[in-house]
Amino acid sequence: MDAAKSKMIIVGLIVGLLSFFFLLADSAISYSDNPQFCLNCHSMSEAYETLQNSNHKQFKCTECHAPKSYIPKVAFKTKSGLRDLYVTVLGETPQLFVATEESKKIISDNCARCHKSTIELTGMGEGRLCMDCHRDLVHRKI
């Protein structure tokens, strides 16, 4: 077999393996967007129940709690998932989940993405987050 043919085979195998990995990763990301997935690993029953009783019940958890763009979403979900797995395996799952500063920014950015026309009409100051005033809008106590 000549060198050119060998290189073509190697390139084909690499492209095939990368494609397979991408499809597998994409399937995992899509599956883990489902709110039922969150309930499998987290003590999130209260958050899920309050979501189901809100005006936002048609949305998946990740539509608010993860970046919109694909690559940042994958990176964020990987980091968050590993952190969640770590505390779950060690039995250190907190009673109250508190959003990290990164999560607060992501949530606020997602609020602004959907509610842009409303926000443009408000006097929301620079550096303010939507949850500064609307913390319990979706996940209020029932």
Domain ranges of the chain: 32-134
In this structure, the number of other CB atoms found within 10 A of the CB of residue 51 comes to 20
**How many secondary structure helices (H) and strands (E) does the chain include?**
8, 0
- List the structure tokens of 76: 């964020």
Under a CB-based contact definition with an 8 Å cutoff, are residues 39 and 48 in contact?
Answer: yes
User: In the chain, how long is the greatest CA-to-CA distance?
Assistant: 71
Per-residue pLDDT of the chain (142 residues; tens, 9 = 90+): 688 888 888 988 999 888 888 788 778 778 888 777 777 766 677 788 888 888 888 888 889 899 998 889 989 988 888 888 888 788 777 766 778 889 888 998 898 888 888 777 776 666 778 877 777 777 776 5
Say what angle helices 3-31 and 70-89 make with each other, to 10 degrees.
60
Residues 6+ apart with CB under 8 A from 60: 33, 34, 35
3-state class (DSSP) for residue 142: coil
pTM metric for this prediction: 0.70
Under DSSP, the state recorded for 124 is P
Tell me the residue length of the chain: 142
Euclidean distance between CA atoms 27 and 31, whole angstroms: 6
Distance CA 68, CA 73 (A): 6
Fold of the domain spanning 32-134: Multiheme cytochrome fold (1.10.3820)
